Amino acid sequence: MASTTLSILAREHPIKSVTVFRVKASKDSNFGQDNNATQKAEVTRTFTVDLQAGQNEVNITGLSGRIDTRSVRVSGLGDNASLFDVMCTVGEGTNTTSSDGSETLRLLRAKKSILEDQRHVREREAELLMNYGKTLQGDHVTPIQMTAFLDSFLERGVKNSEAKSDLTERIAEVDRQIQEEMKKASSRVGQANSQVTVVIASEAGGPAELTLTYIVSHAAWEPVYDLFATTDKGAPMPSVGLDYRARIWQSTGEDWNNTKLVLSTATSDSVSDGVPDLDALKIKVVLGPGQALFGQPRQVAPADRYRVQGPAPPATTLFGPTQSFGSTTGALFGGAAPSAPRTFGAAPAPAPFGRAAASSERPDSEDDPEVGFVDVPEPAPISEPATTVSVSPFSTLYKVDRSATIPSDGKAHQVLIACLTFDAGVSRIAVPRKKPVAYLKCRVKNTSDYRLLPGSVRVFFDKGYVSTAYIGDVNAGDSFDCLLGMDTSIHLSYRRSSSTVKETRNAFSEQFKITTYSVETVIRNKHRSSISELVVRDAVPHRSATSAGLGENVKIVLREPAALADAKPGEVKEVGDKGLKVRWVGMGDQMEGEYVWECKLDANEEIKFTVKYEIKAPADFALHETVISK
């Protein structure tokens, strides 16, 4: 059987399509540089080959050096051909991309040389024509002949000038192409030094379309967004615009020129990762104070013995012992239900198997080198498919309508996925204790069929750049928040004062001092329109922030507003008759003294919030407020 060898240079045939897999985005991720070997794309190429009867060996060169040799597959041969073998090799030390660039530069420089020679000929032509005219004399040339010569001279001179001008422009264009090619060569990242050999058998021969598909690394995309908010007569509009874009990078060694792009929401690691192995879990015994192996008690040092015998201080919480905001088991800002007694320093009650118990000592890993502790990461949230161009139970595909060009330069390039319009509600939020300004907070509802993937959002307000935010997964119907900057027409003042008095002391009681704190916040709306929602956040001292072991010696009592003092966790209380509301932030153990005011303001209206609380402590105690960072 006859054998025929066919050679194909990949760069001479355009790429049909590329499916790019999403990179895992986070606030701290470095797009295009973090784990780029695991960031992948699927490339599809088509080649038309003229098969001969018998066995045909098709050598396709100049493919990406980042190719996964195990992913190569060939299809689309039709009924007249059979696939025998597919081999993929990655060359060492030979960069087809570099040689292609050198060849292109050589051809451009040769073309420039030809054009320069043609221009030189035209210049010589004009010079010869001028010299010939100088040889003409009136004794030998009649006026009619002179007139005919001048007409011919003028016509020839015009044509010569036009030809030289055209050649000069063509030379300048070639120079620009040379500069662009040199720039491409210097910015290109990656090599195109792979080859795929396909062995095909055909009985009758004839044309066939060969489809080559393979996976390459060092390519990924991530979603980015531009959010546009506007105002009408000074008031924010109830809708915002969102440009949904894809930021793509690749350094595969192949330029994706005028290529159909498909963006997959599946992450690149989901393509290659298998089922994770499950590690065994072991229990390591950590000895506590006063314990030894085999149940024998350990000798207790005098200091330890004193600590064990000492009474435990009562458990304390915000505004009183063992009582949180809104608890129903005792008074809110004072005495509370007594806690169960426990010897201070004694070991806590054993937890059931499978539950963690806190230990005051760190386990010594050197005691048992064969036993280790493994950090088990939390499972990732399950991704729900969204309604878009193409949806499967595992991922969503965005097909970019227009062809795009993504060079292999390792730089980020953007393509537009969709321009969306969302409903939005704007509110004001202020934390005057930190900064006496009000911020515009925009809550955007995803009213489209698109699922918004985690990514950065550039926020523009009235065409001015405000900030860059970050959003998580936002499914259709869900909402996300972003800031639109400061509202300079909301004026705030924050004043905090305190006064201390001492109680009368007698011979049989300890003297106490009571410090009364007053916090006054004044807000004025200088807009010409009303404000539908203003949230003001603040906090009062939390009981757990006082020094440990004080017991009942320190008490915190909230005096104003009385509605807040009586409020249960999550309960909203009204203050006055102007629609002012107040509530605690957090539930149960998460309550740390934070509260919020909620109000509405008419144009040029002013409102004042007042909070008063007392701290009662022994007269010789020096108490200091500390800020608990979250």
Q: What confidence tens digit (pLDDT) does each residue in 326-363 have? A: 333 333 343 333 344 333 333 344 444 333 434 334 44
Residue 287 inside a domain? The answer is no
Question: Tens digit of pLDDT for each residue in 45-84?
Answer: 999 999 999 999 999 999 999 999 999 999 988 888 889 9
> Does pLDDT of 160 surpass 90?
no
Q: How far is 95 from 192, CA to CA, in rounded Å?
A: 6
The string over 305-323, giving b where at least 16 C-beta atoms fall within 10 Å of a residue's C-beta and e elsewhere, is: eeeeeeeeeeebbbbbbbb
Residue 114 inside a domain? The answer is yes
Write down which residue in 187, 219, 250 finishes a domain.
Answer: 187
DSSP assignment of 578-598 equals: TTEEEEE-S-GGG--SEEEEE
Residue 260 inside a domain? The answer is no
Mean pLDDT of the region 372-385:
37
Write down which residue in 135, 160, 187 finishes a domain.
Answer: 187
Q: How far is 63 from 348, CA to CA, in rounded Å?
A: 66
CB count, 10 Å around CB of 55?
18
> Does pLDDT of 596 surpass 70?
yes
Q: Lowest mean pLDDT: which of 20-34, 109-123, 184-198, 203-217?
A: 20-34
Residue 462 inside a domain? The answer is no
CB burial of residue 22 (10 Å; 0-12, 13-18, 19+) = buried
Q: Lowest mean pLDDT: which of 10-14, 239-243, 272-276, 528-532?
A: 272-276
Write down which residue in 151, 168, 187 finishes a domain.
Answer: 187
Residue 192 inside a domain? The answer is no
Residue 373 inside a domain? The answer is no
Question: Tens digit of pLDDT for each residue in 467-482?
Answer: 898 999 999 899 999 9
Mean pLDDT of the region 249-272:
84
Q: Residue 236's pLDDT band (boundaries 50, 70, 90)?
A: confident
pLDDT at 91: 80
Residue 523 inside a domain? The answer is yes
pLDDT at 372: 38
Q: Lowest mean pLDDT: which of 371-375, 400-404, 550-554?
A: 371-375
Residue 496 inside a domain? The answer is yes
> Does pLDDT of 597 surpass 60?
yes
Question: Tens digit of pLDDT for each residue in 262-306?
Answer: 999 887 665 556 677 888 888 877 765 655 544 455 554 444 433
Q: Lowest mean pLDDT: which of 83-87, 237-241, 442-446, 566-570?
A: 566-570
Question: Tens digit of pLDDT for each residue in 302-319?
Answer: 444 333 334 444 433 344
Which one, of 251, 244, 220, lies nearest residue 24 by Cα?
220
> Does pLDDT of 170 surpass 60?
yes
Mean pLDDT of the region 193-200:
93
194-202 and 206-217 as β-strands: parallel, antiparallel, unpaired? unpaired
Mean pLDDT of the region 86-114:
74
Mean pLDDT of the region 183-206:
85
253's CB contacts (< 8 A; 6+ apart) are 64, 65, 66, 95, 97, 188, 189, 190, 191, 192, 193, 408
Which one, of 423, 68, 76, lies nearest residue 271 by Cα?
68
**Tally of domains within the chain:** 2
Mean pLDDT of the region 506-533:
85
pTM exceeding 0.85:
no
Domain that holds residue 505: 490-618
pLDDT at 312: 42
Which one, of 231, 238, 241, 240, lies nearest residue 489 by Cα?
231
